[in-house]
Structures are given as structure tokens and as C-alpha cells.
Amino acid sequence: MTKKIIILASGGGTNAENIIRYFQKQPSTSVHSVLCNKKDAGVFQRSQALDTPCHWFDASSPNFLLDYCLTHSPDLIVLAGYLRKIPVELIANFTNKIINIHPALLPKYGGKGMYGMHVHTAVKQAKETESGITIHFVNEQYDEGAVIFQATVPLLPQDTPAQIAKKVQSLEYKYFPLIIEKQLA
């Protein structure tokens, strides 16, 4: 039986694209669909180019995500740049079946408002000597779910936030599909 993934995204969709491409080569798993809460997000074009359904939804609609996921029964829900808090009802119905990737080594630089360049700027300002990714289960609090996997990358004192972002993204692209696959095994 084929395992089914639903991706939630809010932005450009580079991680979603990477995940879709990876699983197009894995006959035992498919990306069923991508759900996005921003009508003009780049993830729509990336998903369409890969023949993967991508649907806009109104994030203020309280039951859409739960109803959609209950109807389509994913084996895993993957947050790939999704910037909204996950409804408690969805978490309760899909315990340890919702994972997120964070562009820092949690518990540092996590929580509400810590996403994208905000994270990399904070890492730079703190003069960290390394950064990385954290893949974790989603719970009721931002970035506080149990850690599944972390990977690090060394930072140089002269690295800019944009350079830090590029280093961290390379870890995201390398490891996120692999960890998703392990969660489905």
C-alpha cells in the first residue's frame, strides 16, 4: 500500500518541490497534495510543474485542515515553510504524524516569529559558530515538539544572514526527504 503525504506550505515552495521530486522516485510513497494559505505563493507554480495538486485554503476557516486530512487520511503531514500554528484538533487526530523543519538548532531560535531570515539574523547577531536544522514533531506550541533529527553546519564570523540561510537550506534539501521517508517506514 502506498504511503500518503500531505504538505502544508506558505511560501516559495522550494522544500515542497524537493520533497515532491524525491518521492516521485519512490513508488511506495506519494505526495497526495499541497495545501497553501497564501494565494500568491510560489508553491502553486512548483507543485503544478510537478503535477501535484496544490490547493489554497483560508487559514481562518477553523475546520478545513482537519476535515481535509480526515477525508484524505495521510500517513504523514509535512510542514514545509508553513507559517501558521496548527489547530489543536488536527494535532489530536494526527498525533506524531505531523512534522516540521526549523532552520535552526532548537531549542535556540524557535517560537512565534522565528522563521526564515529572522532566524538567520538572530543566529548572526548571537555570533554562533554553528547553525543547522531541526526536524521535529508538531505539538501545541511553536517549535517545541519532540526532536526527530538535527544536523549542523559550521559558520564563519564573516557569514552574512543570507550566507547562513544558504548553508542551512543545503541541509534542509539533503535531509528532510530522508527523515520523512524514515518516519513512514
Q: Classify 50 as helix, strand or coil.
A: coil
CB 77, CB 98: distance < 8 Å: yes
- Is residue 32 part of the annotated active site? The answer reads no
CA angle centred on 28, ends 97 and 6, rounded to 5°: 35
Sign of the torsion formed by the C-alpha atoms of 15, 20, 21 and 27: positive
Running DSSP on this structure, what letter comes out for residue 136? E
The catalytic position among 32, 55, 72, 102 is 102
C-alpha cell at 142: 511553536
Positions marked active-site: 102
